[in-house]
Structure 1
Amino acid sequence: MAISSRLDTARVFATVLLPTLAKGVIVRRPGVMALAEKTQSDSAAIATMRHLRDRYGPEPVRLRVTGRSIAVLVDPADVGRLLRESPEPFALATKEKKAALRHFQPHGVLISEGAERERRRDLNERALRPENVPVEAVVRDEADLLVRHVMSNGELTWDGFSQTWWRIVRRVVLGNAARDDDQLTDDLKALRQNANWAFLRPQQRGLRERFQRRLDEHLARREPGSLAAFPGDLSGQVPHWLFAFDAAGIVTMRALAVGGSGMRGVLESARLWPTTPVILRESTIATRWHGTWLPENTEFVVFTPFFHRDPDRLPFADRYAPELWDEVRDPAIVPFSAGPGECPARDLVLVTASAMLDALTEHLTFAGVLDEPLPATLNHFTLRMGATPVGTRVP
């Protein structure tokens, strides 16, 4: 069994796990993201992961942690197995995930188990289909307003993009009547900020109840042309849909910054800068890995930036390479996770995000696109791109 030294365990916590937590797993913290970009913290994290693989070999590396069995994966094939064999024997509903997500989605599919998970997963898979909503029409309607704004001031910023993105999300998920309900998503953001602290912060039940009442009022309309019109009990699932669309907006803005377009541009953005930097699974039984047994309740950690940006394994690690999505066979390049726990909104997110990219780039040419090699850490909060109408000659 590969058991890390105390020094290497400390290095994993110092450069991989704690910086990831500090940036905000549920909602990003602007100040920490700025520092992470300045120091390129993900470069140090990837270097640590390469060190583990080189020193201990391909089997999972078990950290020296008292009272908890934690194994870090370093082999792409092991990532494929872990995701493929979820939720049994590798449960998605880990202790840490439950503690975080209960702050705002206590009935969400990600922290559900058994028959309840199967029922909720099926509902999510059927509801979150792009054909259920006129996504492109909604995106183009809102993007047109953003294009006019950007043309007037010559610059696209995260703040401007984000405001438009959330209007799109509220219309797609809840209907046109929710378009301007900033309070709904502001309350959700506050709950997600609490969720960043997981066990360490008590739940704000009053805030969650206020958010849920507001959300249920929108859902009660069952507005045609929105996801809310889908039959079924959506109340406990929609908080996660809104949460996931936040990450999709970050991916879309970063895709613009790298000169991306279409669905492959969205996928490449998510490969280069994963919005789910750590995938967790917890074993429900003892499991055998490379000839070694790991005990029940072992928490498995997949640090996705390492598998997406490993220069020893991937010749395209630090460049924009949309062509790789024509036929991806790498089991550890998983921008939407994989296996039974794959994001059920994958297709919906790709359609929405790529429609936004296309709507903007049809009318605007962006300056300040990132140069290669691309940075390991990219702070979306401070992205600012000069923009001119397509066809305008730049002196």
Structure 2
Amino acid sequence: MAVASRADTARVFARVLLPTLAKGVILRRPGVVAAAEKLRLDGSAVRTVRRMRERYGPEPLRLRVTGRSFALLLDPADVQRLLDQSPEPFALATKEKRAALGHFQPHGVLASRGAARERRREFNEQALRPDRRCVDVVRDEVDLLVRHAASTGVLDWDSFAQAWWRAVRRIVLGDAARQDQALTDDLAKLRAAANWAYLRPRREALRRDVERRLARHLERNADALAPPEMVGQVPHWLFAFDAAGIATMRALAVGGSDRWAVLESVRLWPTTPVILRESTIATRWHGSWLPEGTTFVVFTPYFHRDATRLPFADRFAPEVWREGTTDPALVPFSGGPGVCPGRDLVLETAGEALAVLRSQLEFGPPLREPLPPTLNHFGLRFPVHRSG
């Protein structure tokens, strides 16, 4: 198995990992995302990973990091193996992930291992099943958004995000939470601190206060399942819905109108650009052994935009999902046993939001192809008018 030179390790960190971290893994930083779009940083990162594969071959590439074992995956089959064999022997709760998520959801399923993870995962899968009420809530809030956009002639990120979060609070916490923007604002403060992982002290008092307010909403909602267990999981759900809102706005930019467009939006601009796993035992890869505790890195934009493998790499191709993709490295919601438990709920809500917006508003032409490697959702602004 190849080991990257110190210079190439530095290139991977400088051009791939650090720009991704700078944009904000847990909460996007608007200024950095705007700069990344202007500088086309994701395109540079994809080219860097491609050069690593050309230089070292398709096997996992070990990075030279003092005191740690890191491996960058470069082949779709290895990505599939890593995800299919999670959480054992490839745990989702890596050191970096636990440090980041500990700021706002220390008991979330992504930060858990063993029996606790299994119990929490099962609960998440049961609680996040889509139902008719979710669709009705989205229609209510998007109808109001349509009226606002039609009156101003513009649909932008700020107005979309306000409507989206009202719908999300109703879906997750009940109708009484609709106007509790202060709650999601405080959660955003915790997520902003989480961007720094173990480099910033945790705001425990604020986290406990947010949890108490979450518990009050859940106890008030007659439809809630097992509120004590939910309090530890809800911050993750809200975190995931934030990414879903970003994907929905980007899908509008490329002319999308359904759930397939949401999947394609996340292929084009992954909301989880880096997937991490940590081995719980020594593992064998193509004849070589990697030690226990190795952190495996999957840079999803490379696999989602690899023009040498995907003829549709830089175009809007929802038919890939409608017809059923067989590419193991297209993982908009991760994959294997660690696939996002809220996948169906997110696709249902985001797809409904797109359908309502497209049915009631006329938008300008979509983005031109080839589509940009980075898309700043904060800066999206669509001139609109009522359909018909």
Matched, 1:206 2:202: no
8 Å contact from structure 1 (residues 368, 385) kept in 2: no
Counterpart secondary structure, 1:373:
coil
Matched, 1:19 2:11: no
Q: Normalising to structure 2: TM-score of the pair?
A: 0.98
C-alpha distance in structure 1 between counterparts of 2:70 and 2:42, whole Å: 21
Identity %: 68
Residue by residue over 1:36-59, the C-alpha shift from the partner in whole angstroms, topping out at 9 and shown as x without a partner, is 000010000000010011111110
Counterpart secondary structure, 2:230:
coil
Matched, 1:8 2:8: yes
Matched, 1:298 2:294: yes
Structure 2 residue aligned with 1:344: 341
8 Å contact from structure 1 (residues 266, 353) kept in 2: yes
C-alpha distance in structure 2 between counterparts of 1:230 and 1:205, whole Å: 24
C-alpha distance in structure 2 between counterparts of 1:372 and 1:311, whole Å: 14
Residue by residue over 1:260-279, the C-alpha shift from the partner in whole angstroms, topping out at 9 and shown as x without a partner, is 11111110001000000000
Structure 1 residue aligned with 2:265: 269
C-alpha distance in structure 2 between counterparts of 1:282 and 1:54, whole Å: 25
After TM superposition, what 4+ stretches of structure 1 lie above 4 angstroms from structure 2? 229-232
8 Å contact from structure 1 (residues 261, 358) kept in 2: yes
Q: 1:229 to 1:117 in 2, by over 3 A?
A: closer
Residue by residue over 1:234-284, the C-alpha shift from the partner in whole angstroms, topping out at 9 and shown as x without a partner, is 110011001100000000000000101111111000100000000000001
8 Å contact from structure 1 (residues 286, 294) kept in 2: yes
Structure 1 stretches of 5 or more lacking a match? none
Give the superposed CA RMSD. Answer: 1.0
Q: Which amino acid aligns with 1:99?
A: A
C-alpha distance in structure 1 between counterparts of 2:215 and 2:315, whole Å: 44
Q: What's the offset of the Cα at 1:230?
A: 6.0
C-alpha distance in structure 2 between counterparts of 1:241 and 1:379, whole Å: 23
Residue by residue over 1:343-363, the C-alpha shift from the partner in whole angstroms, topping out at 9 and shown as x without a partner, is 000000000000000011000
Q: Which amino acid aligns with 1:42?
A: D
C-alpha distance in structure 1 between counterparts of 2:119 and 2:125, whole Å: 10
Q: What's the offset of the Cα at 1:289?
A: 0.8
C-alpha distance in structure 2 between counterparts of 1:7 and 1:240, whole Å: 37
Q: Which amino acid aligns with 2:238?
A: L
Structure 1 residue aligned with 2:218: 219
Q: 1:242 to 1:297 in 2, by over 3 A?
A: same
Structure 2 residue aligned with 1:369: 366
Q: What's the offset of the Cα at 1:213?
A: 1.1
8 Å contact from structure 2 (residues 215, 228) kept in 1: no
Q: What's the offset of the Cα at 1:100?
A: 0.2
Structure 1 residue aligned with 2:357: 360
Structure 2 residue aligned with 1:39: 39
Structure 2 stretches of 5 or more lacking a match? none
Moved more, 231-240 or 45-54: 231-240
8 Å contact from structure 1 (residues 139, 352) kept in 2: yes
Counterpart secondary structure, 2:316:
coil
Q: Which amino acid aligns with 1:340?
A: P
Q: What's the offset of the Cα at 1:222?
A: 2.8
Matched, 1:323 2:319: yes
8 Å contact from structure 1 (residues 139, 356) kept in 2: yes
8 Å contact from structure 2 (residues 219, 227) kept in 1: no
C-alpha distance in structure 2 between counterparts of 1:377 and 1:313, whole Å: 20
Moved more, 201-210 or 244-253: 201-210
8 Å contact from structure 2 (residues 127, 225) kept in 1: no
Structure 1 residue aligned with 2:190: 191
Structure 2 residue aligned with 1:86: 86
Tell me how many residue pairs correspond in the alignment: 387
C-alpha distance in structure 2 between counterparts of 1:201 and 1:295, whole Å: 29
